[in-house]
Structure 1
Amino acid sequence: MDVNVQSSVFNHFYLATCLLCLSLLAGCQSTPANKSAILLAQQGNFESAKQAIRTDYSPNGKSKLLHYLELGMLNHLQGNYERSNVLLSEAQDIIEAQYTISVVESAVALVSGPTYTTYAGKIYHRPLINLYKALNYNALANRAGPNKQQYLDSAMVEMRQLDTYLSNLKEQTGGYNSAGDNEPTSDDLTNRIYRLIQPIFAPNDLLVNIDYKDDAFAHYVSGVLFERSNELDSARIQYQRALGAFENGFTKQYNLNDKKIVSQVHTDLIRVMTKAGGYKNEIRKLNKKLDKAPSVTKTPLLNVIQNVGIGPQRKEFNLLLKADHESKALVMTPILWGTEKERRAQMKWFQMLFADTSVFDIVQNYAMGDIGDVAMGALTKRIPLGPLWDDAQDVGLVQALEYGSRISVTYLEPLQQQVKSAEVWVNGKKTAELDKIYSVSLLTLQDALRNANSEIQVALTREIIKAITAQKTINATGLDQSFAGFAKFATSVVNAVTASADLRQWQSLPAQINYAQIPLSKGTYEITLKTHLSSGKVIEQSEAVTVSDNITLWHTRTFLQQSRVTAPESTFL
């Protein structure tokens, strides 16, 4: 058979086989246990939710962090605040211990896949652990009793730890993904491959606006808690840090109402300075920045934090990588799979990674659930190697990619803007509007995009090493050209089927957090939250809340779906 004809037949048959394998894999995929768990929790079925986590995430395995994060959040939602803090403390210890992934694990991951490493969480997980532990202590303080101040003191300990973490974060240079963080440190061939493709996938300069640089919301909650305990100097510092972060880009980055939030923090800062005394000049400067000087009330304040919805889910996205001899380039093509909505999202994700226009604008549209008109299947990414082509041939990369290689990475489903507005009603009377003050979904999305290039880079290195290793094995057998071609094709198919992405994430986090501050005299009130959805549905939640201090903080979780969910079978068995 003519070599060109044989190559063409192999290529078409390989692609068809890959698609068949992908369809089989897709049929075997199921909803992750932690996604099923939070869906069960929104129905109030907490025990089944916790059992799903215990079944799939061992407290001693590679995903042990998720065991403690998810159980910690489920107990938080259930009102088991002390138990929640025990579990979240375990999660915090794991994150600190896994700050540097071992060299051995990195080497294994390059050959076997990212799920063979111990899950270490995301950079923004540690602040959220401190935040939810503080909310747990605050909730325990709200139950009054002789230990009230003890719980408030514990909440402030969490906030001080958080402040130290954020201060160190802001002092770091080189961003959140320095070049050394992801570089393999195994054998020489692996390092040569990694260095060969590293310039190709260097992070786009347009991604600089989506780094996790600071946390204005965390600083603000710290200010509220310090003010509640009458630690006015600490409260002032935290409000100032929150104000600086909100004004200098936090509101824009996370699509918040800049004017209302900045005005709120201004008011809080002026109130604390007035209470403390000695800040007349600073207060005068702050008032000049506002359209109208805020009135400082002496009435006690109820601060309402509404955690809303469920964050987006990580899903698998596949790419086909081939070497083009004529143009001396690598060609990467998305393999679209799933529903029409999923395929459109996969194509838009691919466009976001390699867009020549403003990535920030595209991200904002994606965050609004608007993926626009996508030319399905019409996009490929051609990566000219130029003078690197000879190096690619020397290490066996070009020959290894003769039949292509499937690269498996992750993407996030588009964010759904389901909430139209939310209101606070006090004793049957509408009192305030809740404003979005934190977007966990957008934070998750931007982090995923920020890490997408390095994820593809490592995935490429892994699959290329597997292909080169298989090629060397075939050459060592001494098979003639025809059998060697079939052997290489067979190993390419095996590699395509075994390629996998790391879909692990802290799934029980909310999609967004809303906030309102209401002046109320001390006493017990029926607080009702009315959440208006884009569909026209209104979700109502009511609870008796006691305002016993000059500053009271109350939080709740609002789930937006009421679909029936059954407990999942284990996906790891």
Structure 2
Amino acid sequence: MLSLFNTLHYRAWLTVALIVVLTGCNTTPANKNAILLAQQGQFEQAKTAIETSYPAAGKNRLLRHLELGTLYHLEQRYQLSNDNLDKAKAIIEEQYTISVSEQALALLSGPTYTTFSGKEFHRPLINVFKALNYNALANQSPAKRQYYLDAALVEMRQLDTYLSTLTDETGGYDGKPSGDGLTDRVMRILQPLLAPNDLLKNIDYKDDAFAHYISGILYESSNELDAARIQYQRAAEAFEQGFADQYDLGTNATKQAYADLARVMRKAGGYRNELSELEEKWGDSISEPKQTGPRLTVVQNAGIGPQRKEFNLLLRADHDAKALVVTPILWGTSAERKAQMWWFQMLYADTSLFDMMQNYATGDLGDVAMGALTKRLPLGDTLWQSAKTAGLIDALEHGSRIAVTYLEPFEQKIDKSELWIEGKKVAELDNYHSVSLLTLQSALKNANREMQIALTREVVKAMTAHKAIQSTGLQAFDGFAKLATSVVNAVTAGADLRQWQSLPAQIKLTQVPITLGTVNITLKTKLRSGKVIEQSDTLEINENMTLWHTRTFIESAQSTAPTTLLTME
């Protein structure tokens, strides 16, 4: 009778549980609301949203300071921005090695119960933002100019140390379980199901060519030519050896980095052989410019990065095939359901991940067989018996809902960005970084590990509840208890959707010769929709190197977003 009850009501409990849970899955997080407010110029409301949602002493304190650091940066309140970014950097360093208790908490309760510690690419972005803030402060405070410029270089030295360590590491972010507890045994059984796909092996965050390039500009501006040469060379080599391809940047960033390297070598002297090799390889693109003197570098941070959302799956045991089966549970709008299926395909695709990822990054998801895809792992007699002995198969009698994350697809809305000086077009900006692609690749790289931990957590919860029922002597109600436990676990399972949401989607840049004196510049961002966003400023060019940066919000109600002039010696 109970078996018949289970059969008839299996779909019913799953449907009810999912309706309860998933109706709250697609709510917009506070930091996404905050950056949407900021793009409309409503900074006070944006900061209030962050301060209300992320307490200074809570497990999300890193998010609080990252988001406030960005918002104050956009407001041009640079010291307050740096104060918050300093706190964020300290929290990242503190959380670099997650404690054993935090790992256990994540396995047993869920990732959102742990302290958010950020991603590996957050630290370099903090250093870059802080350095830009210091240079803006130097421009605003002539009496303390050198003090702020020196502080900017401190950030660059810290950045160099971090990136040097990053490039030397060999996968130190993926810890392996140890011991022989219940959790460890479950993870070992599930490991073959979620072994990293070979298609994911070339999307690691290995280095940051853009960060090296900005570092080179800052060193050159302070006339530290040897340090500038080293950073330009690291940037150029990183762009050339894979960074440009990995983040779909084209070749212009590589050529510009080599051109800057050659220019600094000429200024420093003593690099005749190295210059000859560069000229032979790159030709006119790195030859000595006809127009010498001051240069203007324009950096555009454009758009808003994609949002992390929740993606649900069902794990069940197939007794006839002696296999474990994972099936996507699609939920949300038509676009969201298509994105969830595409995400699942990217993780287990037999085709080129790179091609699929590029389509995902442009919002071109094509046609997918909605609901038809599953991931099946035949365990065979030995592993199946191990799973039965551990209680895993019993625990999966009614299936287990697994909650993980996926990244919403993002569209490339910008057709081109143009720099105009004194009413004349002088250059188009090139792509120097795609924070959206970086975030996407990081999410894909961590997806298997995230899913393994989520599966383990829900299975251990179900097994623990099953054993607790058995210990009470109420085995007659075991089937109903397992059904109830499955419902509870489905309702309580949750994914970690936390991220630094206010980062730009992409970073564009151009560098041009400029004349001394007062100049009027305009950045024209032309969208594929036909809309043109114009941002203008008047600059006083009286130094060798001037850097101007801005944030362009694609959906802004204002025609001009906040801009910053950074003038450097």
Q: Secondary structure at the match of 1:199?
A: helix
Distance 1:312 1:24, change over 3 A: closer
Which residue does the alignment assign to 2:162?
165
In structure 1, C-alpha distance between the alignment counterparts of 2:166 and 2:537, rounded to whole Å: 38
In structure 1, C-alpha distance between the alignment counterparts of 2:80 and 2:362, rounded to whole Å: 36
Q: Residue 184 of structure 1: CA displacement?
A: 7.0
* 1:432 matched to 2:427: yes
Q: Secondary structure at the match of 1:25?
A: coil
Q: Residue 453 of structure 1: CA displacement?
A: 0.1
Which residue does the alignment assign to 1:560?
554
- After superposing the two structures, state which structure 1 stretch, 526-535 or 135-144, moved more: 135-144
In structure 1, C-alpha distance between the alignment counterparts of 2:65 and 2:279, rounded to whole Å: 45
The answer (yes or no) to whether the contact 1:317–1:408 under 8 Å persists in 2 is: yes
- After superposing the two structures, state which structure 1 stretch, 462-471 or 366-375, moved more: 366-375
Q: Secondary structure at the match of 1:210?
A: coil
- Which residue of 443, 449, 457 maps to 1:448? 443
Which residue does the alignment assign to 2:493?
499
Which residue does the alignment assign to 2:564?
none
Alignment of 1:507-546 (within 5 A): 507-546=501-540
Superposed CA deviations along residues 288-318 of structure 1, whole A, max 9, x for unmatched, are 1114252334220011110000000000000
Superposed CA deviations along residues 449-488 of structure 1, whole A, max 9, x for unmatched, are 000000000000000011001111222232353x322221
Letter in 1 for 2:230: I
Letter in 2 for 1:487: A
- Shift >6 Å, 4+ stretches: none
Letter in 2 for 1:261: A
Letter in 2 for 1:13: A
- Which residue of 327, 350, 354 maps to 2:348? 354
Which residue does the alignment assign to 1:569?
none
The answer (yes or no) to whether the contact 1:176–1:212 under 8 Å persists in 2 is: no
Superposed CA deviations along residues 218-265 of structure 1, whole A, max 9, x for unmatched, are 11001111111111100000011011101101000000012x122211
Which residue does the alignment assign to 2:174?
178
Q: Secondary structure at the match of 1:544?
A: strand
- After superposing the two structures, state which structure 1 stretch, 269-278 or 5-14, moved more: 5-14
- After superposing the two structures, state which structure 1 stretch, 97-106 or 454-463, moved more: 97-106
* 1:419 matched to 2:401: no
Q: Residue 23 of structure 1: CA displacement?
A: 4.5
In structure 2, C-alpha distance between the alignment counterparts of 1:31 and 1:6, rounded to whole Å: 38
- Which residue of 398, 403, 406 maps to 1:408? 403
Number of residue equivalences:
555
- After superposing the two structures, state which structure 1 stretch, 283-292 or 91-100, moved more: 283-292
Which residue does the alignment assign to 2:260?
268
The normalised TM-score by structure 2 is 0.95
Q: Residue 144 of structure 1: CA displacement?
A: 5.3
Q: Residue 563 of structure 1: CA displacement?
A: 6.1
Letter in 2 for 1:105: E
Superposed CA deviations along residues 326-366 of structure 1, whole A, max 9, x for unmatched, are 11111111000000000000000000011122212211221
- Which residue of 243, 265, 276 maps to 1:284? 276
Which residue does the alignment assign to 2:14?
15
In structure 1, C-alpha distance between the alignment counterparts of 2:545 and 2:24, rounded to whole Å: 54
In structure 1, C-alpha distance between the alignment counterparts of 2:129 and 2:172, rounded to whole Å: 23
Which residue does the alignment assign to 2:84?
87
The normalised TM-score by structure 1 is 0.94
Letter in 2 for 1:328: K
Q: Secondary structure at the match of 2:416?
A: strand
Q: Residue 176 of structure 1: CA displacement?
A: 5.3
Q: Residue 9 of structure 1: CA displacement?
A: 1.4
Letter in 1 for 2:74: L
Letter in 2 for 1:46: F
- After superposing the two structures, state which structure 1 stretch, 541-550 or 36-45, moved more: 541-550
Which residue does the alignment assign to 2:362?
368
Q: Secondary structure at the match of 2:143?
A: coil
Structure 1 unaligned blocks of 5 or more = 565-573
Alignment of 1:23-34 (within 5 A): 23-26=22-25, 29-34=26-31
The answer (yes or no) to whether the contact 1:95–1:121 under 8 Å persists in 2 is: yes
In structure 2, C-alpha distance between the alignment counterparts of 1:480 and 1:140, rounded to whole Å: 71
In structure 2, C-alpha distance between the alignment counterparts of 1:232 and 1:478, rounded to whole Å: 78
Letter in 2 for 1:234: A
Letter in 2 for 1:324: D
Which residue does the alignment assign to 1:215?
208
The answer (yes or no) to whether the contact 1:209–1:360 under 8 Å persists in 2 is: no
Superposed CA deviations along residues 72-113 of structure 1, whole A, max 9, x for unmatched, are 110000001111111101100000000111111111121111
- After superposing the two structures, state which structure 1 stretch, 64-73 or 15-24, moved more: 15-24
Letter in 2 for 1:274: R
* 1:232 matched to 2:225: yes
- After superposing the two structures, state which structure 1 stretch, 307-316 or 536-545, moved more: 536-545
Which residue does the alignment assign to 2:566?
none
Letter in 2 for 1:539: I
Which residue does the alignment assign to 1:457?
452
In structure 2, C-alpha distance between the alignment counterparts of 1:477 and 1:441, rounded to whole Å: 52
In structure 1, C-alpha distance between the alignment counterparts of 2:392 and 2:119, rounded to whole Å: 32
In structure 1, C-alpha distance between the alignment counterparts of 2:364 and 2:172, rounded to whole Å: 27
In structure 2, C-alpha distance between the alignment counterparts of 1:136 and 1:242, rounded to whole Å: 22
The answer (yes or no) to whether the contact 1:243–1:266 under 8 Å persists in 2 is: yes
